[in-house]
Amino acid sequence: MLRRARKHYTRAESSPNDVFRLSVPARPAFVRVVAVAASSLAARRNFSPVAAQMLSTAAEGAAECLIGASRRPGRLFVNYEIRDSELHVILERRGRLGRVKIRSAQLQCFRARVGRQLDSWGVDRNRLWLVKIRA
């Protein structure tokens, strides 16, 4: 995020291990924001256009699976972690009472939509994480 100084703009420089956090309402209208952020970070870290698009599609699919058809209020928390030549995207949904557990239907949706587009991925009770390695 750029902050306006008196006569110039300042920005944070990226180091080999940066973490960017994003929080959006858990609604289908905000899923694309998660995908665009993943694609932008991948492009900035010199991933190939194909790898950036694959990561974007995977992040969008994972966010859609986590949100699902639920009408309950909540937020989707996404961490983008840059580790040398890897970009990790960690997604978590939280409601009013804390973390929302991932259901089996959401897990099946995630495996069907995302699995082939990534170098690695994982699931625990509350989080999905995606890993794309720069080629």
Q: Which comes out higher in pLDDT, residue 67 or 122?
A: 67
Q: pLDDT of 89-133, one tens digit each?
A: 888 888 777 677 777 777 777 777 776 777 777 777 777 777 877
Q: What is the pLDDT of residue 82?
A: 84
* Cβ neighbours of residue 103 closer than 8 Å, sequence gap 6 or more: none
Q: What is the 3-state secondary structure (H, E, C) of the chain?
A: CCEECCCCEECCCCCCCCEEEEEEECCHHHHHHHHHHHHHHHHHCCCCHHHHHHHHHHHHHHHHHHHCCCCCCCEEEEEEEEECCEEEEEEEEEECCEECCCCHHHHHHHHHHHHHHCCEEEECCCEEEEEEECC
Could you state, in order of their start, the residue ranges of all structural domains in the chain?
19-133
Of 14-18, 65-69, 73-77, 94-98, the range with the lowest mean pLDDT is: 14-18
Where is pLDDT greater, at 48 or 14? 48
Q: How much is the pLDDT for 36?
A: 92
Q: What is the pLDDT of residue 13?
A: 47
Reading phi first (left if > 0) and then psi (alpha if -120 to 50, else beta), residue 100 is in beta
- pLDDT tens digits, one per residue of 2-38: 444 444 443 444 555 688 888 888 888 888 999 999 9
- Domain 19-133 fold is Heat Shock Protein 90 (3.30.565)
- Average pLDDT on 30-56 reads 89
pLDDT score recorded for residue 7? 43
Question: Would you state the pLDDT for residue 8?
Answer: 41
- Average the pLDDT over 56-64 and give the result: 87
